[in-house]
Amino acid sequence: MKTEMITLKHGDVSIKMPSSALAKLAIASVFAQVLPPAANVQPVAPSTIPEIGQPWPGQGGLNGGFVHARGDVPEHYLIIAAKDVGDHEWGGRGVEVKGLSKTDGYINTQVLIGNDDERKHPAADACAEYQADGHHDFYLPAAAELYQGWLNCPEVFAQDCYYWSSSQRSAYYAFYMYFDGGNQDYDAKDDELRVRPVRRLFI
C-alpha cells in the first residue's frame, strides 16, 4: 500500500510528509498547549529525616536510627515512643516461651500477647496497647533493639532504672537494659521494670 503524502506550504517553503506523521505532530501540539510545561512541575521533595533522638512528626515518637535488613525483616528506622508506659512485670515466670528472639521484638511481642498460657505478659501487653499519631503497631523491643537505643540516643531513656526487653533468658528470667551504664543483664520475670514501646518505619 502506498503511503499517503501531504504537502505543507508556507511562503516559499514546502514540506512533504506522510499523513500519519502529520497527525502525530498535530496531537503533540494539542497536548503541549493543554498540559503545563515540564519545567513547571515541582519535584516531590524527599521527606526530612530528623536527627537521631529527635521527634519524627507523624510517626509516633523519636528517631531511634536506621536498622539494616535482617532475615525476613526489611531495612527500617526504629521509632522509639516519646514516653515510657510505666513499670510492669515481664510475666509468665516459670514458663519458657518458645520462638523468642534477641533481635526481633515485634515477633516476640506477637508471641507473648498471643500466648495461651493463663499467665499474662504485662510488659508486652502495655506496648501492644500503646498508640501514638494513629499508629497501633508498637511492641516491646528485643535486647538488640534496646542496645541500639543505648548506642544512638541513651539520653531519651531514664537513667535510674532498668528497661525490660522482650528477649527471654530462661523460664525464670528475661533480659533488660540499663541506660546509664549501658549494661545488659537479666532479671526475674515477676519483677516490675520500666517499659518503653517502639515501632518500625519501613523505607
Could you tell me the pTM of the whole model? Answer: 0.76
Quote the pLDDT of residue 44: 32
Instruction: Give the pairing of strands 192-194 and 183-188.
Output: unpaired
Report pLDDT for 39: 41
Q: What is the pLDDT of residues 43-93, one digit of tens each?
A: 434 568 999 999 999 999 999 999 999 999 999 999 999 999 999 999 999
DSSP per residue, 135-197: B---BPPPHHHHHHHHHH-GGGS-SSSEEEEEEE-SSSEEEEEETTTTEEEEEETTSEEE---
Query: Hey, how many other C-beta atoms are within 10 angstroms of the C-beta on 21?
Result: 12
Residue owning grid cell 509468665: 92
Give residue 203's pLDDT.
85
pLDDT of residue 9: 62
Q: Which amino acid is at 134?
A: G
Percent of the chain scored above 70 by pLDDT?
Answer: 75
Q: Going residue by residue through the chain, which has 203 residues, state the pLDDT in tens, using 9 for 90 and above.
A: 555 666 656 566 555 556 665 565 555 554 445 444 444 434 434 568 999 999 999 999 999 999 999 999 999 999 999 999 999 999 999 999 999 999 999 999 999 998 766 569 999 999 999 999 999 999 999 999 999 999 999 999 999 999 999 999 999 999 999 999 999 999 999 999 999 999 999 98
Q: What is the pLDDT of residue 134?
A: 97
Backbone angles phi, psi at 134, to 5 degrees: 80, 0
